[in-house]
Amino acid sequence: MSKVGKSEVRVDAFDKVTGRTKYYEDRVPACALYARIKHAEKAHAVVAAVDTSAAARIPGVVKILTCFDVPDIPFPTAGHPWSMDPGHQDVADRRLLNRHVRYWGDDVAVVIAESELAAVQGVRALKVEYEELPFVLDVQEAMQPGAPVLHEAYPDNVLKHTELRKGDYQAATQKPGLVKVEGWYYRPTVQHCHI
């Protein structure tokens, strides 16, 4: 039975258009606290200090945690941290809040407050001092000798070499009519762990 080209009555349509549907925000308990993250405003740096005094004076702010307050327990980002193959494990270079900022937007502090407004105002009131480090925006440049180092254990910024072989390359290159294409090809970053 095909539905293509036919109107379908949605069971949730009436409640959504009349405003009766309850979403997550509608179900938050009145006593819930709000947390907002302070993101780094440098591409590559070390956090030298975080002044929380102005944020702490904002009514409704309950707690402020900085990169200096959280345990120094590194973990890998979403990927393969539990693989038994060491070559398949991600680099455990993240902390809950990061002192070594590796990209613009890295997490450096969090404000916990009684309202979303107070949490946002608290984040805006935080003053972060950075020791700026050099950075590069090109992958090839990042692998050159003397390039700024992102991961201390990988001074050349190469975390892993991988190789995929299928078939006989040498035999394939000897076939008549072979067309050789060389160049650099770029594609956008794809994150396979959305949900």
Write out pLDDT tens, residues 47-84.
Answer: 999 999 999 999 999 999 999 999 988 887 765 556 66
Q: What angle do CA 57, 31, 97 make, to 5 degrees?
A: 55
- Angle (CA) 135 139 143, round 5°: 80
Task: Read off the pLDDT of residues 169-189 as tens digits, 9 standing for 90 and up.
Answer: 888 888 888 888 888 887 887
> What gap in Å lies between CA 121 and CA 38, rounded to an integer?
11
Q: Which two tokens stand for residue 120?
A: 């946002």
Q: Which domains does the chain have, with CATH numbers?
A: 18-136 (3.90.1170.50)
Find out whether 79 and 87 touch, Cβ atoms under 8 Å.
no
What is the C-alpha separation between 167 and 59, in angstroms, rounded? 67
pLDDT surpasses 60 at 195: no
Alpha carbons 124 and 147: distance in angstroms, whole number? 33
pTM: 0.72
Mean pLDDT, residues 125-135 taken together: 96
- pLDDT(23) > 90: no
**Per-residue pLDDT at 101 exceeds 90:** yes
**Cα–Cα distance for residue pair 29/69, rounded to 1 Å:** 28
Please say whether the dihedral angle defined by the alpha carbons of residues 23, 25, 31 and 35, taken in this order, is positive or negative: positive
Mean pLDDT of the chain: 87
Report which of 43, 33, 107 is spatially closest to residue 75, judged by C-alpha positions: 107
